[in-house]
Structure 1
Amino acid sequence: MGTNVVSAEIEIPGASEAGRAARLSVAPMIDWTDRHCRAFHRTLSRRALLYTEMIAAAALVRGGARHLLDFDADEHPVAVQLGGADPRELAEATRMAEEAGYDEVNLNVGCPSDRVQSGCFGAVLMERPALVGDCVAEMAAATRLPVTVKCRIGVDDQEPEEILPDFLETVRAAGVRRVIIHARKAWLQGLSPKENREIPPLDYALVAKMKRAFPDLHISVNGGIVSLDAAEAHLRSGMDGVMIGRAVYQQPADILLTADHRIFGAAEAPLSAMDALERFRPYIARHLEQGGRLHSVTRHMLGLFAGRPGARGWRRVLSEGATRDGAGLEVLDAALAMVRDAAEEPAG
Structure 2
Amino acid sequence: MRATPIDPKREGRPVVLVRLQQVAKLRRHYIAQIPRWRQPLIGYFLSFPFVAIALILTLLLKMTLTHFYFPGALMLLTIVLVAFIWGVGPALLSVFLSTLALDYFFIPSSEQLSLQSWDGVAQILPFFLIGIIVAIISGQREAARRRALFAELALKERADELEETNQELKEVNQVKDQFISMASHELKTPITTIRGQAEVTLRRLSRQKELPEELAGVSHALEQIDEQTLRLNALVDDLLDLSSIRAGKMKLRLSNFDLREVCQSAVEEQRLLTGRNIELEQPGTPVMLNVDSERLSQVVTNLVNNAVKYSPETSPIKVSMEMQEKTIRLVVQDYGQGISKEQQTLIFET
Q: Under TM normalisation by the shorter chain, which class is it? A: under 0.3
* Structure with the bigger percentage of strand: 1
Larger Rg: 2
* Structure with the bigger percentage of helix: 2
More contact order relative to length (CA 8 Å, sep ≥ 6) = 1
